[in-house]
Structure 1
Amino acid sequence: MAEGHRFDRVWLRGRLLTMAPEGSSAAAHGEAAILAGCGVVERGAVASRDGRIAFAGPEDGLPAGWEAGEVLRLEGRWVTPGLVDCHTHLVHGGDRAAEFEARLAGATYAEIARAGGGILSTVRATRAADEDALVASALPRLDRLIAEGVTTVEVKSGYGLDTETELRMLRAARRLGEARDIGVATSFLGAHAVPPGMTAEDYTALVCDAMLPAVAAAGLADAVDVFHESIAFSAAPTGQVFAAARAHGLPVKLHADQLENGGGAALAARWGALSADHLECADEAGAAALARAGTVAVLLPGAAYTLRETSRPPVEALRRHGAHIAVATDCNPGSSPLTSILLAMNMAAVLFRLTVPECLAGVTREAARALGLLDRIGTLETGKRCDLAIWDIERPAELVYRLGFNPLHSRVRGGR
């Protein structure tokens, strides 16, 4: 039998959301029309070989005489690519429940940060934790994401603010991918805050001249991130960090325009960043710049919800200019203690007015794009890793509109 006719596993009688736009028919009707751009295949099949997708499409498109080591019949269940959470701070020490209470009493995020709380509070707890403790504390949070069909997660450092602890965080993040069957993309976020006792200039030099070279030499980061805000890093030091990242061959990402419009979206676009994340205070010019650069706008509704922010990302402008939009949990101990990618989708729809197709694309195709991984994951296409989420739902909208409900039937990573 020809090699192309033999598969390791075949899933039959599924309804697919390939998330490959070219898979949608111009003559689509019914559910397929509602989900235009999601690549709906009503009677679909997926086949895997050596951990990769060997076929994804209409069941009657499988090669004649095909064989498989295992055949699974999905009985009409919906199949999406494995979900991707493209912005998290899963690895950290301690918690910030006391700050949550302070915000309920009227304190703002910026006020708490200036008083030595916020990020610096977590820095103290993280510096005090060894690598094993960081892994152990992160695993339950990771398990909640896995239980909702997440097959790839991004994890940032940024709670060390010294070389030793930043390296420890990144090693812990890598170990998460060894302890669980999940892909982990790591981002070095040494430029998250300025540690006490240092000036912004001196700390930026430390990040560029010592921390980043050590991280790059150890091969622990897939990207470099910066927190660009008036309470953190302005445009000049951000540019220094990005230039250093580029010198080490690492792509960049940016926390941008969360608390104020500081031109972060345009700055991210100017540097060709993979993504600009938050954007609650970005404007139309920033949205246009992101679209021109191909920089993904990663929306983090959990933070807007937790901080009770009234500003909203310029979603209409992002649409109008054709920017890519992703959605993530921003799981962190302070501003978004969220471990549900499904709830993040609901929040993105309710708070930011994303559509169901935008939410679904935001945690699959566009999230993969935000990590520079779209050539490997994020859609059901031949040659990509066979990462699937299989759902007990009647309509894909259920993944977005239900609260506190997890309809995951099964999760597949690498064809297993």
Structure 2
Amino acid sequence: MRVLENLDVATMVEGGAPYGLIPDGAIVLDGTQVAWVGPQAELPSDWQGCERVDLGGRLVTPALIDCHTHLVFAGSRVREFEMRLNGASYEEIARAGGGILSTVIGTREASEAELLRDALSRADALIAEGVSTVEVKSGYGLDVETELKMLRVARQIPQHRDLSVTCTFLGAHAVPKGMNAEVYLEDVCLPALRQAHAEGLVDAVDGFCEGIAFDADQMRKVFAVARELGLPVKLHSDQLSNIGGAQVVEDFAALSADHVEYIDEAGVECLKRAGAVATLLPGAFYFLKEQQRPPVDLFRKHGVPMALATDWNPGSSPLGSLLLTMNMGCTLFGMTPAEALAGTTRIAAQALGFTDRGVVAEGMRADLAVWDAEHPAELSFHIGFNRLHSRIHGGRID
């Protein structure tokens, strides 16, 4: 048993003080769990004699959670970024070998060791900002072998880093060049999903419901197999248009709908009935120079919780900072700092189906971040300035 003392703690427990803030607090750790949290003056006598760790008046929050990433990939899309800025069209970039196809080729050609090396480098950047849990998607293989390879690599990350990783199958990410969408689903995507499940490589299933990818009925086919396998689902939905993704979210009680810039009020009501989280991804909005913001006020009106995530990927969101994501959620989407911190802790955990993390409370995982900060709003305020002092993952202090 250890007592963390001389700290302020933003518990992020709903109700009560903003941020669930406890000034002059203390936290008791019992192995991998939080045994007690409260004002230091009220520390129970049973723990008075335990080992003490003085945090020097610093701020403690739940460790951050990045609930939507594509950390496993190979190749670089920086050249097409340059081409775009020099006036090249999407078609011209595609003809030059750019776009998702270049990432698919690079990922297929890379070895597991190469993919793991690069994924660990990306994971290190997130860990350095107080992240303890990361979701990692497949989706850059678009064949059975490479989709499984990506998931195997994602499963290996916790063997090399003190990080929790949850793996999401995203075989329905794009249609391979020269292939029909229906044929791809039947011959590649669904067999890959079944095999990934059989090998214990997948925790959830995602898909891209969009005019340039898969329609709502095609996503229902994928999610029907996920339901058969007992896997939760989530959906890339309403990013570029509204083609009925929110109804799919409701029909399958999805954990989250992600992007959601073009969702309408009826769609928001679908999310509410489903109990789904709206996961906002300002990195892609910023990088693609989109103009339509997600309807934050509608999410508030209908009580749909909002998560924030980096969407770290090689093409549309090369964003490796969850802290910057929080700032973007505030400056670009109009979220409050309290909503941004909830969206990267308590609500991010909900978006991944976790009930054991995301808040500092008795019985929860001892995943904590210690900040050189006086107020939780500082985490969303600073740009390019990381105030992390230390990170505690499963009770282990970095």
Q: Which residue of 2 aligns with 1:152?
A: 133
Structure-1 residue corresponding to 2:351: 370
- Give the superposition deviation at 1:58: 1.7
What's the counterpart of residue 134 of structure 1?
115
Q: Which residue of 1 aligns with 2:389?
A: 409
Find the aligned partners of 1:15 and 1:239 in 2 and give their Cα distance: 46
Instruction: Tell me the secondary structure at the aligned position of residue 165 of structure 2.
Output: strand
Q: Could you give the per-residue CA deviations for residues 58-87 of structure 1, whole angstroms, max 9, x where no partner exists?
A: 223322142565311122211100100000
> 2:267 and 2:94 mapped to 1: Cα distance?
26
Structure 1 contact 109–307 (Cα < 8 Å) conserved? no
Q: Give 1:105 deviation, angstroms.
A: 3.3
2:154 aligned to 173, 180, 184, which one?
173
The alpha carbon displacement at 1:126 in A equals 0.0
Question: Per-residue displacement from partner, 1:240-267 (whole Å, max 9, x unpaired)?
Answer: 0000011001000100111112222232
Query: Of 365, 387, 391, which residue of structure 1 is paired with 2:367?
Result: 387
**Which residue among 58, 61, 68 is the counterpart of 1:77?**
58
- Letter of the structure 1 residue corresponding to residue 369 of structure 2: A
Aligned to 2:173: 192
| Cα shift readout 1:84-117 (whole Å, capped 9, x = no counterpart) | 0000000001111122123323456688569863
Partner Cα separation in structure 1 for residue 11 and residue 94 of structure 2: 43
SS in 2 for 1:326: strand
Structure 1 counterpart SS, 2:57: coil
1:324 counterpart (302, 305, 316): 305
Letter in 1 for 2:30: R
8 A Cα contact 1:83 1:389, kept in partner:
yes
**Shift of residue 218, structure 1, vs aligned partner:** 0.6
C-alpha displacement of 1:206: 2.5
Gaps of 5+ in 2: none
SS of the equivalent of 1:244 reads: helix
Deviations 1:151-209 (A, max 9, x none): 00000000001111111100101111111000001100011011123210111112454
Give the match for residue 96 of structure 1.
77
TM-score normalized by the length of structure 2? 0.96
Larger deviation, residues 320-329 vs 377-386: 377-386
81 and 68 in structure 1: CA distance in 2 versus 1, 3 angstrom threshold? farther
* TM-score, reference length from structure 1: 0.92
Residues 252 and 106 of structure 1: CA distance in aligned 2, closer, same or farther (over 3 Å): farther
**Aligned residues of 1:303 and 1:330 also touching (Cα < 8 A):** yes
Is the 2:66–2:135 Cα contact (8 Å) retained in structure 1?
yes
Helix, strand or coil: the match of 1:352? coil
Deviation at 1:357, TM superposition (A): 0.6
Deviation at 1:315, TM superposition (A): 0.5
Code of the residue aligned with 1:414 in structure 2: it is G
- Counting only pairs closer than 5 Å after superposition, residues 16-415 of structure 1 correspond to structure 2 as 16-22=9-15, 24-25=16-17, 36=18, 38-67=19-48, 70-106=51-87, 117-207=98-188, 209-373=190-354, 375-415=355-395
Q: Secondary structure at the match of 1:252?
A: coil
Displacement of 1:57: 1.7
**Which whole-Å deviations, capped at 9, do the CAs of 1:366-404 have from their partners, x for residues lacking one?**
00000001x111111111110000000122111101111
Q: Assess, with a 3 A threshold, how the Cα gap between structure 1 residues 261 and 90 changes in structure 2: closer, same or farther.
A: same
**1:10 aligned partner:** 3
Which letter does structure 1 place at the counterpart of 2:349?
A
Per-residue displacement from partner, 1:121-141 (whole Å, max 9, x unpaired)? 110000000101000011111
Q: Deviations over 1:9-57 (max 9, x none)?
A: 21112111111114x24xxxxxxxxxx2x21111211111121111122
Q: Does the C-alpha gap of structure 1 residues 318 and 93 become closer, same or farther in structure 2, counting only changes over 3 Å? A: same
User: Residue 68 and residue 139 in structure 1: after superposition, are their counterparts in 2 closer, same or farther (change >3 A)?
Assistant: farther
Alpha carbons 1:10, 1:68 under 8 Å: kept:
no
**1:395 and 1:120 mapped to 2: Cα distance?**
44
Distance 1:62 1:113 in 2: 62
Residues 111/276 of structure 1: CA separation in 2 closer, same or farther (3 Å cut)? farther
Q: Relative to 1, partners in 2 of residues 1:121 and 1:98: Cα closer, same or farther, differing over 3 Å?
A: same
Report the 3-state secondary structure (helix = DSSP H, G, I; strand = E; otherwise coil) of the residue aligned with 1:77: strand
Q: Distance in 1 between matches of 2:277 and 2:94?
A: 28
- Over the matched positions of the two proteins, sequence identity in percent amounts to 56
Residues 177 and 125 (structure 1), Cα distance of their counterparts in 2 relative to 1, 3 Å cut = same
**5+ residue gaps, structure 1:** 1-6, 26-35
Opposite residue 13 of structure 2, the aligned amino acid is A
Change (3 A) 1:68 1:89: farther
Cα RMSD (Å): 1.6
Helix, strand or coil at the partner of 2:75: coil
How many angstroms apart in 2 are the aligned matches of 1:225 and 1:108? 29
